[in-house]
Chains A and B, each alone.
Chain A
Amino acid sequence: MTIYLIIAVVLLVFVITFQVAKASEYVSILRGEEANRKQNNKINGWLMIIFLILGLWGAYICNNLLFKKTLLAYPSASVQGDKVDEMIWITLAITGFVFIVTQILLFYFAWRYQESDKRKVFFFSHSNKLEFIWTAIPALVLTVLIVFGLKNWFYFTGEAPKDAMEVEVTGKQFGWIFRYPGVPGHFGKKYYKMIDLANNPLGLCWRDSAAIQIKDDPYAHKDVVLEQTMYLIKNKPVKLIIGSRDVLHDVGLSQFRLKMDAVPGIPTTMWLTPKYTTEEMKKITNNPDFEYEISCDQMCGNGHYSMKGIIKVLTQEEYDAWWAKQKPAYLLAFPIDTSNTKVTMIDNKQQHLFTKN
């Protein structure tokens, strides 16, 4: 019902607008075109200055309403994010200044130099001096921004510290899979043709396969695989090794101010250092439901909007306690006798199971 009401109102507004427009044309004929044109000029000139003032005031109001909803209202959750924030403030200061000055000049000129019988136009067609000034100044200012930006860029994309922990992140339609090496520094090999949705979502090399020239990798038997939630340690740098199982995805870490695409067949990396645990962040943001969310930031299909992962940042002790409880994915998939940690040998029964797949 409301839709019909809305349509009726819209039609009414249209009709009124057209009547006003038509009437104004008659008025212009009655009063003379020239007089009418001058009056329109005056009205629009004043609207220019009103638009400028209301616009700047509106920007201020908008900032009051929305600033606290942005990430800038709270400290960044990563060491890298602090540098991003610093860049934001520097860039905002420069572009904000230019924005205000140029918009004021534009609308002030529009109002001030509207047609008038009292003033003559100043014929001014070029000035090399002015052109030089406003080529050189932007170039200098941009140099400053480029220098700051690239310094940070090379820091973000540079090598992760040696003591960084490593986690592999894999995107898939529509969720995230995380892999921790069972032996630090040694991820097991994987191959996408080994993927088995029920037991082996990453295709870890748990057996030999002559057909696809894959050898069983002992390290692969020890890797811990998690879905949807990743665990990180406060103040410990982490290097994410990012990949995708199907289409493009993107590991978007908004609170950490970083993101990196997940590309099938081409691993990418990103490193960061979390500054606050999830619990601390709940207090900082004053939101008991706060979570570090991983958003997929690259269009990946109809479920793109639901591709959420969670990061739990823990203290070292909490993390150690959690890690002690984790079991390698291989053992979860094939719960055989776990007393033998050397799982390189696969018994005949297992072999049979594999070939059936």
Chain B
Amino acid sequence: MSHNLDATHHHEETFITKYIFSQDHKMISKQFLITGMVWAVIGGILSVIFRLQLGYPDANYAWLENILGKWWVEGGHITAQAYYALVTIHGTVLVFFVLTGGLSGTFANLLIPFQIGARDMASPFMNMLSYWFFFVASIVMLASLFIQTGPFSGGWTAYPPLSALHQASPGSGVGMDYWITAMALFIVSSLLGGLNYIVTILNMRTKGLSMTRLPLPMWAILFTAILGVLSFPVLLSGCILLIFDRHFGTSFYLSDIFVAGTALPNEGGSAILFQHLFWFLGHPEVYIIILPAMGLVSEVLAVNARKPIFGYLAMVVSMFAILLLAFLVWAHHMFVTGLNPFLGSIFVLLTLLIAVPSAVKVFNWLTTIWRGSIHFTPAMLFAIGFVSLFISGGLTGIWLGNSSLDIHLHDTYFVIAHFHIVMAVSAMFGMFAGIYHWFPKMYGRYMNNTLGYIHFWVTIIGAYLIFWPMHYQGLAGMPRRYYDYSTWESFKQFADLNRFISTVAAVVFLTQLIFIFNFFYSVIFGRVLKTPNPWKANTLEWTTPIHGIHGNWPGEIPEVYRWPYDYSKGGRDYIPQTEPIGPNEIDDGH
């Protein structure tokens, strides 16, 4: 239907078709964003509670018992089963529901039709389904928090046999069935979305918008969607085999197990097989999270430095290199599983290779702001923060990717520090940059700058205060996923540090509430946008009217004549993509 829409063609829209079962990409992106924000707050609360246990294990949490109930807090103490449930659901929710669903869902839906000059997505209906599968997955995951035996508590990686045997842990009972169901629904959502993104970007670009004139967020989202479409099904198959092992007596992952006083009949399965299937998605997954953030940050950096992104082609090629390598490095999560050492060595080589395109991207970002004219909007601050975090976390990846160091540091706090900095906090920063930057496009209003500045500075300082010292805990061999360290001679020296980290974590979490407040307050009361192009940017989304209309452009879709990064060219601050190349002008695009 979308092809014959224009401003003169008005649909009669009811509340339900406009706000709930909407097929408009702008509304769907808001739905993804707000669902993602709800999950981010829930995931954040979960982490604050388990950090309380780590930082103040002896404090009295009777007040929390009144809120959460006996399963979570008993006799004033957070229980071990609650602790493990919290870390598991925190990980699952943040990785999949916030940084995949929330980040890709929001910005792919918002930006694809806008930046490629399309009326909407190729299949608006599939797009709507994608959100509603995500929504149902969210409900199932949320419901798992309230069942009697508790949610799944075997870590977000869900390794069998722990996740396959209800005898092995209470969380591996019904809680795990909910977890798998939610994940399966989530994967369906992600596939519906991903296929739509790929098809739309490849087929529906406006006249003149060749692939090499695409803004970088588009390349990033295209590669992300390809990664997701090729790797999520593998996780789905892994999960289906897990369901078979759990309920139908198969032995895909089970062998030689004596648990809870009985020897199980299963023989010949391999627990390691699941890890291969899991990480075949699991590793690309971290790029599914970070690539969109890289795309958004590249755009924000160029716009706010008033300078072209440096090395556009190198940026695309390096993202493509990351896309390819992402499929070939999964076993670096498995160096200490007894993997064939020769195979391990291949994965070391391929893993460390990823550092090359990553380094290229960092140097290109640095060169982009070099001799620019930087406007410190909150979006720009978060983009700079992203680069800083990506450097810090990326460099420790060189440690962990080298198997002879991983054999020592694997599953310690060094890993926690590494992946939180390089893909969790930094992807969050990318998302914040995106929200601050495109908020005026979404709601026709500005967010409050001062709150944005406070949000940024507290968050980046807090993020480093939380995760920097964790490297030292890792270098002491301190294992992750421990409920209590006080009985360990080797690790108990960090009690003070854990207290410090927990306190900072609580403060950083509360600071995010400032952002949430700023967001919703500004939706209603924010300063009204007076120009359609507040950041003086070149890309097409800023040529649409301030208040989005169905079909995006009132008249014809504009034609594109140049790449999106002509900032400060020939003495002009910016030249929109819709402006033809001048008679004596050199086209700096490719």
Residues of chain A whose beta carbon lies under 8 Å from any beta carbon of chain B: 3, 10, 14, 17-18, 20-22, 24-25, 37, 40-41, 44-45, 47-48, 51, 55, 58-59, 62, 66-67, 69-72, 81, 83-84, 87-88, 91, 94-95, 98-99, 102-103, 105-107, 109-110, 113-116, 119-127, 130-131, 134-135, 138-139, 142, 145-146, 148-150, 152-154, 156-158, 172-173, 192-193, 195, 197, 203, 242, 245-248, 250, 252, 254-255, 257-261, 263-269, 287, 289-291, 293, 295-306, 308
Contact = CB atoms under 8 A, between A and B. Distances in A.
29 contacts: A55-B464, A69-B493, A84-B405, A88-B408, A99-B392, A103-B392, A106-B369, A109-B370, A110-B384, A119-B371, A121-B307, A123-B567, A125-B588, A131-B364, A139-B356, A153-B348, A173-B168, A193-B258, A250-B336, A255-B490, A265-B270, A265-B271, A291-B489, A295-B488, A299-B157, A302-B80, A302-B483, A304-B482, A305-B484
Nearest to A261: B337
A303 B497 contact: no
A87 B491 CA distance: 23
Given A125-B565, A299-B84, 17 more contacts: A3-B63, A17-B454, A22-B448, A41-B374, A41-B376, A62-B472, A67-B472, A95-B395, A107-B388, A134-B360, A134-B363, A149-B348, A246-B257, A250-B336, A259-B410, A298-B159, A304-B481
Interface in B133-164: 153-155, 157, 159-162
B528 interface: no
Given A70-B475, A263-B337, A308-B488, A48 B373 contact: no
B202 interface: no
Contact of A302 (B170, B307, B359): B170
B582 interface: no
Contact of B477 (A261, A268, A295): A295
Interface string B515-555: 00110000000010000000000000000000000000000
A8 B155 CA distance: 35
Contact of B348 (A99, A150, A289): A150
Interface in B464-511: 464, 468-469, 472, 475-479, 481-485, 487-491, 493-494, 497, 510
Contact of A248 (B161, B171, B371, B391): B161
The 4 closest A-B pairs by CB, nearest first: A254-B477, A265-B255, A268-B338, A121-B568
Given A248-B159, A306-B487, A21 B404 contact: no
B259 A246 contact: yes
Interface residues of B, number: 130
B373 A245 contact: no
A110 B478 CA distance: 36
A139 B360 CA distance: 11
A99 B390 CA distance: 11
| A24, A98, A259 interface centre (most CB from chain B within 10 Å) | A259
A293 B336 contact: no
Contacts of B159: 248, 298-299
Given A135-B360, A149-B348, A116 B408 contact: no
B345 A254 contact: no
B450 A21 contact: yes
A252 B313 contact: no
Contacts of B157: 299
A150 B162 contact: no
Given A17-B514, A40-B453, A266-B338, A84 B407 contact: yes
A22 B526 CA distance: 11
| A258, A265, A295 interface centre (most CB from chain B within 10 Å) | A265
Contacts of A134: 359-360, 363
B271 to A, nearest CB: 5
Contacts of A156: 404, 407
B480 to A, nearest CB: 8
Interface stretch (B191-199, B219-227, B261-269): B261-269
A84 to B, nearest CB: 5
A299 B162 contact: yes
A18 B387 contact: no
A41 to B, nearest CB: 5
Interface of B: 63, 80-81, 84, 153-155, 157, 159-162, 165, 168-171, 254-259, 261, 263, 267-272, 305-314, 336-338, 341, 344-345, 348-349, 352-353, 355-356, 359-360, 362-364, 366-367, 369-376, 381, 384, 387-388, 391-392, 395-396, 398-399, 402-405, 407-408, 410-412, 448-451, 453-454, 457, 460-461, 464, 468-469, 472, 475-479, 481-485, 487-491, 493-494, 497, 510, 513-514, 517-518, 527, 565, 567-570, 588
B381 A154 contact: no
B391 A110 contact: no
Given A121-B371, A264-B271, A149 B402 contact: yes
A195 B264 CA distance: 11
Given A195-B263, A261-B336, A300 B162 contact: yes
Nearest to A295: B479
Nearest to A36: B449
A87 B168 contact: no
B382 to A, nearest CB: 12
B259 A142 contact: no
A45 B255 contact: no
A124 B384 contact: no
Given A25-B527, A130-B367, A87 B405 contact: yes
Contacts of B402: 87, 91, 145-146, 149, 153
A146 to B, nearest CB: 6
Contact of B404 (A116, A153, A246, A298): A153
Nearest to A131: B314
Given A14-B513, A138-B359, A72 B404 contact: no
Contact of B271 (A120, A248, A303): A248
A263 B253 CA distance: 11
Given A67-B472, A106-B387, A302-B80, A41 B404 contact: no
A252 B491 CA distance: 13
A150 to B, nearest CB: 5
Nearest to B165: A247
Contact of A98 (B352, B395, B408, B568): B395
A87 B306 CA distance: 42
B564 to A, nearest CB: 12
A253 to B, nearest CB: 8
